[in-house]
Amino acid sequence: MQKDLGDYRKSYEKSALMENSISDNPMQLFQTWFYEVEQSNGVDEPNAMTVSTIGLDGFPKSRVVLLKKYTHEGFIFYTNYKSEKGRAISNNPNVCVSFFWPNLERQVIIKGKAEKIAENLSDGYFESRPHGSKLGALVSNQSSVIASRDELEDELTRLEKEYDGKEVQRPKHWGGYIVKPISMEFWQGRPNRLHDRIRYRLENGLDWVVERLAP
């Protein structure tokens, strides 16, 4: 089986990314871009991001998760610490996070180190989740092999009865990570494949160096 995709072509012409129009801090530019994609109403989940890790088997693996908060320090998402991604981060905290917003012809690619956030912050977010999502965190032994879908459904039914009218406490193996960036690249599509690529690189752990990369 084969399919030639060579004729899939698009000219990127919606915007430009120039040095005289950006801030000295990449988080400020990220905030501007995120606001613009939110206002465009052209992406169902603008906070969907791809997290790439190096697994215990030595292979990279990427998956889409949801960004739940960003601050001047970095990007926060939540997961099961015992999942495949959690074990990978425990072994090697160097990760890559990327956003793709096709309606604005933009990407953001972030390299950084992931670390667990404070337990009280994970508690606070867990408390804000819907009751069903809380139970889901208890039901799923994430990334483990299971016999069937029925196994999950039966466990959910059992927990729904157990926690009927009761609060669900955050399990200790579930919580947040913050990815603290050391490099942030902003990609803006341009005509003739001469895309704009501006990279912020953290130098000496303190100052951001701004560089233009060849497309």
Helix, coil or strand: residue 141: coil
Q: From the candidates 193, 199, 201, 212, which is the catalytic residue? A: 193
Helix, coil or strand: residue 186: strand
Give the H/E segment covering residue 165: none
What does DSSP say about strands 106-116 and 174-188: parallel, antiparallel, or unpaired? antiparallel
Q: Which residue has the tokens 């180190």?
A: 113
Active site residue 193: yes
Distance between CA 85 and CA 201 in Å, rounded? Answer: 25
Q: How far is CA 70 from CA 73, 170, 178, 179, in A?
A: 8, 22, 9, 9
Q: Which residue has the tokens 């989940």?
A: 45
| Residues labelled catalytic | 193
